[in-house]
């Protein structure tokens, strides 16, 4: 079985959340699953100094190049990925999911999904292949699957309201659990939207990965 893991850079504040990405990759490896990491070949919307938390004005980075750090270089441009080649897709969180994969961080309920990401994600959806969205990444779900899709980002009311305005059906969920939209084969889990430490994030991610892989065989 071969699955896709879509990364959004490298670093919680401007790219893929590293803990969530590694935990996802580890769970997949332990399940004996072949993984292909991918990311859009586009400029990051922001570069954040992770020591100070401040934006590094005038500094630019590429999402695919930065994501290659997590993938140890084994990564492809998502624009070249064919949904038919993958049994499932996984989207770790981090602000990059809301800044680079879509612009939810800037536009809220008026957001759009990056075109290459949208093409691949909708292609997976049309083929009814399972998808797992982690942390803030589920904010993309209403734009990919349309109104009525069930998902969770945990318990944050403000974010849930914005997702509701897009037509998503938000379900509150603790950090160690996950939500499944059985009609659409979508799994989502809060991870660092709620997690106080890497152990809490790991519990929910490991369960969500297992549930997603089970949908492949359902």
List beta partners, residue 188.
Answer: 133, 179
Question: 100: domain range?
Answer: 2-216
Q: Each residue of 129-159: pLDDT tens digit?
A: 999 999 999 999 999 999 999 999 999 999 9
User: Active-site residue among 10, 102, 135, 173?
Assistant: 135
- Both tokens of 121, joined, read 């994600």
The CA distance from 3 to 213, in Å, is 9
Using alpha carbons, list the distances in angstroms from residue 215 to 52, 86, 93, 180.
41, 13, 21, 10
pLDDT tens per residue across span 186-212: 999 999 999 999 999 999 999 999 999
Q: In 138-172, which positions are buried (b, 16+ CB within 10 angstroms) versus exposed (e)?
A: bbbbbbbbeeebbbbbbebeebbebbeebebbbbe
135 catalytically annotated: yes
Q: Which residue has the tokens 């993309």?
A: 140
pLDDT of residue 218 exceeding 80: no
For 110-122, what is each residue's pLDDT tens digit? Answer: 999 999 999 999 9
The pLDDT value recorded for residue 70 is: 98
- Pairing state of beta strands 179-181 and 186-189? antiparallel
pLDDT range class, residue 91, cuts 50, 70, 90: very high
Q: Average per-residue pLDDT in the chain?
A: 97
Q: Give the residue-averaged pLDDT of 177-188.
A: 98
Tell me the mean pLDDT in the region 169-194.
98
Give residue 182's pLDDT band: very low, low, confident or very high (50, 70, 90): very high
Quote the CA–CA distance of 37 and 70 in Å, as a whole number. 9
- Structural domains of the chain, count: 1
Query: Residue 71's domain is classified under what CATH number?
Result: 3.40.50.880
Q: What local confidence, expressed as pLDDT, does residue 217 receive?
A: 80
C-beta atoms surrounding 81 within 10 Å = 20
Cβ–Cβ under 8 Å, residues 95 and 133: no
Cα 144 to the center of its chain, rounded Å: 12
- d(C-alpha 103, C-alpha 76), whole Å: 22
Q: What is the pLDDT of residue 58?
A: 87
């Amino acid at each position: 079985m071969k699955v896709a893991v879509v990364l959004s850079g490298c670093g919680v504040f401007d790219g893929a959340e590293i803990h969530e990405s590694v935990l996802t990759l580890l769970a997949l490896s332990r399940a004996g699953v072949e993984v292909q990491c991918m990311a859009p070949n586009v400029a990051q919307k922001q570069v954040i100094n992770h020591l100070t938390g401040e934006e590094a004005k005038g500094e630019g980075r590429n999402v695919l190049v930065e994501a290659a750090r997590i993938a140890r270089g084994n990564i492809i441009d998502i624009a070249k990925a064919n949904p038919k080649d993958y049994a499932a897709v996984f989207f770790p969180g981090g602000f990059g999911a809301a800044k680079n994969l879509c612009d939810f961080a800037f536009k809220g309920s008026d957001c759009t999904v990056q075109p290459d990401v949208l093409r691949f994600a909708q292609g997976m959806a049309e083929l009814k292949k399972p998808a797992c969205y982690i942390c803030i990444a589920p904010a993309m779900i209403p734009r990919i699957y349309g109104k009525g899709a069930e998902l969770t980002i945990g318990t944050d009311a403000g974010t849930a309201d914005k997702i509701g305005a897009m037509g998503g059906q938000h379900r509150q969920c603790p950090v160690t659990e996950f939500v499944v939209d059985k009609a659409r084969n979508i799994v989502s889990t809060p991870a660092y939207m709620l997690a106080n430490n890497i152990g809490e994030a790991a519990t929910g991610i490991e369960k969500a990965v297992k549930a997603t892989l089970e949908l492949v065989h359902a």
